[in-house]
Amino acid sequence: MTVVLNQSFTGISIGAVLLLIALGLTLTFGQMGVINMAHGEFIMAGAYTTYVLQKSISSAGVSLLVALPVAFLVAGAMGVLLEWLLIRRLYTRPLDTLLVTWGVSLMLQQLARDIFGAPNVQTAAPNLLTENISVGGGITLANNRLFILGLALLCVLGLTVVLRLTPLGRRIRAVVQNRDLAEVSGISTGRVDRTTFFIGSGLAGVAGVALTLVGPIGPTMGTNYIVDAFLVVVVGGIGQLKGSVITAFVLGVLQSVLEYSTTVSVAKVVVLVAIVAFLQWRPQGLYTLRTRSLA
């Protein structure tokens, strides 16, 4: 029983990472239909931002806190630049966005190798996040995993508030539901698209900061998560925030439990087969997209 609880907590923490990554995709893929394969490189940008800041800020705790907003701005700016240069010309051609952003991702990976080198680098976690909490019965909770879980839930809460309670959120939902009607109603859909891309890409940067607490930083680190993040978005229901939240944690727990009882490769295969079977039964995802609403 203790093992199951420990593995379940590990799975929840994996789900929190997937959720952080998938939040941005839920926005960009759900609203604009853009298959952004460079999303993983925005994660990488957030991670390297943490690495650079830690070189200039001696305190690991302070550098981590500073990295969160800075990584959001850096990755968000990269997303806006990508949208302005390329994506805005391809909104009606989703397969072209896949190919173009895949090429951009390869270019960004090479740029990271040129700047930081090919070998992986590591950041130091704050002392508090290197410790564990024992809750009794042999159950141990890692502080860094708890931090990532709290960060993911905070991002979900913030995104929900923006989408439901702010004028920006209302404009985003209007564009999602009917782009043409929103345009003739006076909403600048181009500006909304760029703002949405900024938020979605910025959330990927925040995910990159979180990933520095659980592994090394490298040029290809984003590619290890991007496919799983897309699966979270598709299974949860395209553009459905609550579906992404549920799916991320379910997949994380399922993968963790299977990895303990089998191997990593077998667990991946089983999870993928389960996803394929689910989509055969419910191709629209966990939540039916009656309207193109994100909330």
Report yes or no on 124 lying in a domain.
no
Range of the domain at 231: 2-119+140-281
Q: Bridge-partner residues for 191, per DSSP?
A: none
Identify whether 197 is part of a domain: yes
Domain count, the chain: 1
Judge whether 129 lies within some domain.
Answer: no
**According to the model, what pLDDT value does residue 41 have?**
93
Distances in whole angstroms, Cα of residue 167 to Cα of each of 26, 44, 172, 265, 281: 19, 31, 9, 45, 37
The DSSP H or E segment spanning 142 is strand 139-142
In a domain, 92, yes or no: yes
CA distances in angstroms from 4 to 101, 236, 256, 257, listed in the order given: 40, 25, 10, 7
Length of the chain: 295
Query: What confidence score (pLDDT) does residue 204 get?
Result: 92
* pLDDT score at 295: 43
Q: Which DSSP symbol is given to 86? A: T
Q: Is residue 135 part of a domain?
A: no
Calculated CA dihedral for residues 20, 24, 25, 26, nearest 10 degrees: 90
Cα torsion 184, 185, 186, 189 to 10°: value is: -70
CA distances from 60 to 55, 118, 207, 212 (A): 10, 24, 17, 12
* Structural domain contains residue 128: no
Residue 287 lies in a domain: no
What is the reported pLDDT for 288?
Answer: 64
CATH of the domain at 23: 1.10.3470
Q: What is the pLDDT of residue 33?
A: 74
pLDDT computed for residue 292 by the predictor: 45
> How many helices (H) and strands (E) would you count in the chain?
11, 2
* Low-confidence residues of the chain: pLDDT under 50: 291-295
- Is there a domain that residue 66 lies in? yes
